[in-house]
């Protein structure tokens, strides 16, 4: 199954995930490990592919990532500001 948002990317949260991760000064591997402690199956390759827009991100993963960074899912989706 191929799902494309704009003809090129499979998700619209990748840039925000990368921005938030870098703001915390953590690696893709560290982010994946922290999400794994929450019970999600993330690897550093998963995070890389999300950030590059090469991986579809299901809704439950968007919620998990938003929760980790203490932002709303709407923020990750570009619907509202960070607050």
**pTM score, whole prediction:** 0.85
How many folded domains does the chain comprise? Answer: 1
- Per the CB < 8 A criterion, the answer to whether 5 and 15 are in contact is no
Residue 83 has pLDDT above 90, yes or no: no
Assign residue 35 the CATH number of its domain: 1.10.260.40
Measured between alpha carbons, how far is 64 from 40 in angstroms, rounded to an integer?
A: 8
Task: Give me 16's structure tokens.
Answer: 């925000």
Does 3 map to a domain?
A: no
pLDDT for position 65: 97
Does 34 map to a domain?
A: yes
The parent domain of residue 37 ranges over 14-76
- Per the CB < 8 A criterion, the answer to whether 2 and 56 are in contact is no
20-62 pLDDT, tens per residue?
999 999 999 999 999 999 999 999 999 999 999 999 999 999 9
Measured between alpha carbons, how far is 68 from 83 in angstroms, rounded to an integer?
A: 15
Measured between alpha carbons, how far is 40 from 63 in angstroms, rounded to an integer?
A: 11
């Amino acid at each position: 199954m191929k799902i494309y948002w704009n003809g090129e990317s499979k998700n619209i949260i990748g840039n925000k995930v990368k921005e938030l991760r870098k703001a915390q000064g953590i690696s893709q591997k560290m982010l994946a490990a922290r999400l794994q402690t929450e019970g999600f199956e993330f690897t550093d390759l998963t995070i890389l592919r999300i950030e590059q827009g090469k991986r579809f991100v299901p809704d439950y993963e968007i919620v998990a990532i938003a929760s980790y960074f203490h932002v709303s899912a709407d923020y990750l989706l570009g619907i509202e500001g960070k607050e």
